[in-house]
């Protein structure tokens, strides 16, 4: 499991951990039942506070990506495709709200936004 933190990012460290673990779960790199490192071990490996890893794990559990078993640790939870889709749509909607706000401030049209999105999605698909 690879997690790379960016200290110069505006995103809090716990969000960076959450995002990367979600991505690894959704991509299949981490599979149902896979054990995650303990909060203490992960904090030590990343050289961050255990409070940060605790927050990330709690949020992942709340969102249904992992399950924690007292005395055994945290494990990747089996995800149903409907849940995954709804989760992704919710995150996308949050991001699009920010995009819409910036577009309005910058005088960017809907057509300009959709063209940029089309280009980005093509780039993503082509690697």
Residues 25 and 72 in one domain: yes
Do residues 53 and 90 both lie within one domain?
no
Is this structure's pTM higher than 0.75?
no
Task: Find the domain containing 106 and state its range.
Answer: 81-125
Indicate whether 71 and 95 sit together in one domain: no
Please provide the distance, in angstroms rounded to a whole number, between the alpha carbons at the two ends of the chain. 22
Q: Please write the tens of the pLDDT for every residue from 57-114.
A: 999 999 889 999 999 999 999 877 677 778 778 889 999 999 999 999 999 999 999 9
pLDDT at 85: 79
In a domain, 1, yes or no: no
Q: Which is more confident, 127 or 2?
A: 2
Confidence of residue 14 (pLDDT cuts 50, 70, 90): very high
CATH code for the domain in which residue 61 is found: 1.10.10.10
Number of domains making up the chain: 2
The answer to whether the CB of 14 falls within 8 A of the CB of 56 is: yes
Within a domain: residue 47?
yes
Does the pLDDT at position 120 exceed 90? yes
Give the per-residue pLDDT at 91. Answer: 85
Q: What pLDDT does 83 receive?
A: 73
Per residue in 24-58, pLDDT (tens digit) is 988 889 999 999 999 999 999 999 999 999 999 99
Kindly give the interhelix angle for 50-62 and 39-46, rounded to the nearest 10 degrees: 130
Arithmetic mean of pLDDT, 10-37: 93
pLDDT at position 87 is: 77
* Same domain for 52 and 90: no
Instruction: Assess whether 71 and 89 both reside in one domain.
Output: no
């Amino acid at each position: 499991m690879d997690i790379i933190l960016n200290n110069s990012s505006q995103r809090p460290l716990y969000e960076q951990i959450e995002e990367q673990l979600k991505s690894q779960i959704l991509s299949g790199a981490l599979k149902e039942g896979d054990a995650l490192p303990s909060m203490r071990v992960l904090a030590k490996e990343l050289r961050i506070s255990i409070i940060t890893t605790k927050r990330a794990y709690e949020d992942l559990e709340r969102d249904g990506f992992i399950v924690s078993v007292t005395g055994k640790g945290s494990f990747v939870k089996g995800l149903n495709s409907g849940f995954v889709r709804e989760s992704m749509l919710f995150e996308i909607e949050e991001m699009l709200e920010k995009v819409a706000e910036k577009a309005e401030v910058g005088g960017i049209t809907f057509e300009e936004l959709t063209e940029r999105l089309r280009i980005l999605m093509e780039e993503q698909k082509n690697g």
